[in-house]
Amino acid sequence: MKLTPRAYQLAIYNSIMQNGNTLVVLPTGLGKTLIALMLIKEKKDGRCLFLTPTKPLAKQHLNSIKEVLGIDAVLVTGEIPAKDRKKQYENKVIVSTPQTVRNDLFSGRLSPEFSLCIFDEAHRAVGDYAYTHIAEKLYPKTLFVGLTASPGGKRERINEVVGNLHIQNIEIRGKSDEDVKSYVQESEMNWIPLTLSPTLKLIKKHLDDMISKHAQRLGAMGFRPPMKHKGLFLQYREKILSFQHGMKYRALVHYSVLLHLLHMVELLETQGVFPLRRYIEKLSDKETKSVKMLLNEPEMKKVKKLCGTEVEHPKLGVLLKLMKKLDGKKSIVFAQYRDQVKKIETELQKNDFSAKQFVGKKDKSFTRKMQEETIADFREGKFDILVASSIAEEGLDIPAVDAVIFYEPIPSEIRSIQRRGRAARFRKGEVYILMTKGTRDEYYYWSSLKKEKKMKTIMDSMKRKMSGEKRKPLKPTGQTKISHFFDK
Question: Are 360 and 402 found together in one domain?
Answer: yes
Residues constituting the chain? 488
- Decide: 13 and 488 in contact? Cβ < 8 Å: no
Question: Are 295 and 322 found together in one domain?
Answer: no
CB proximity list for 54: less than 8 A, separation 6 or greater: 97, 394, 395, 396
Check residue 479 and give its pLDDT.
41
- Decide: 78 and 97 in contact? Cβ < 8 Å: yes
Lowest mean pLDDT among 92-101, 350-359, 371-380: 371-380
Question: Are 90 and 212 found together in one domain?
Answer: no
* End position of a domain, from candidates 245, 278, 307: 307
Q: What is the pLDDT of residues 403-460, one digit of tens each?
A: 999 999 988 877 787 777 776 555 578 999 999 999 989 988 888 888 888 888 888 8
Q: What is the pLDDT of residues 445-467, one digit of tens each?
A: 888 888 888 888 888 888 888 87
Question: Are 338 and 295 found together in one domain?
Answer: no
The answer, as to whether pTM is greater than 0.85, is: no
* End position of a domain, from candidates 258, 284, 307: 307
463 inside domain: no
Check residue 290 and give its pLDDT.
94
Check residue 176 and give its pLDDT.
77
Q: What is the pLDDT of residues 334-358, one digit of tens each?
A: 998 888 999 999 999 999 999 999 8
CATH number of 385's domain: 3.40.50.300
Enumerate the H helices of 221-337 as residue ranges: 230-241, 247-270, 273-283, 289-295, 298-307, 314-326
Question: Are 246 and 389 found together in one domain?
Answer: no
Lowest mean pLDDT among 62-76, 97-111, 368-382: 368-382
Domain count, the chain: 3
In this model, does residue 172 exceed pLDDT 80?
A: yes
Give the integer Cα–Cα distance in Å for 213 and 224. Answer: 13
Average of pLDDT values for 361-372? 75
Instruction: List, in sequence order, every residue forming a beta bridge with 434; answer none if it has no partner.
Output: 192
In this model, does residue 472 exceed pLDDT 50?
A: no
- Tell me which residue range forms the domain holding 375: 187-194+314-443
* End position of a domain, from candidates 255, 279, 307: 307
Average pLDDT over the chain reads 87
Question: Are 282 and 350 found together in one domain?
Answer: no
Question: Are 210 and 286 found together in one domain?
Answer: yes
Question: Are 107 and 142 found together in one domain?
Answer: yes
Q: Of the candidates 354, 333, 331, which has an alpha carbon nearest to the alpha carbon of residue 402?
A: 331
Question: Are 26 and 82 found together in one domain?
Answer: yes
Average of pLDDT values for 122-130? 96
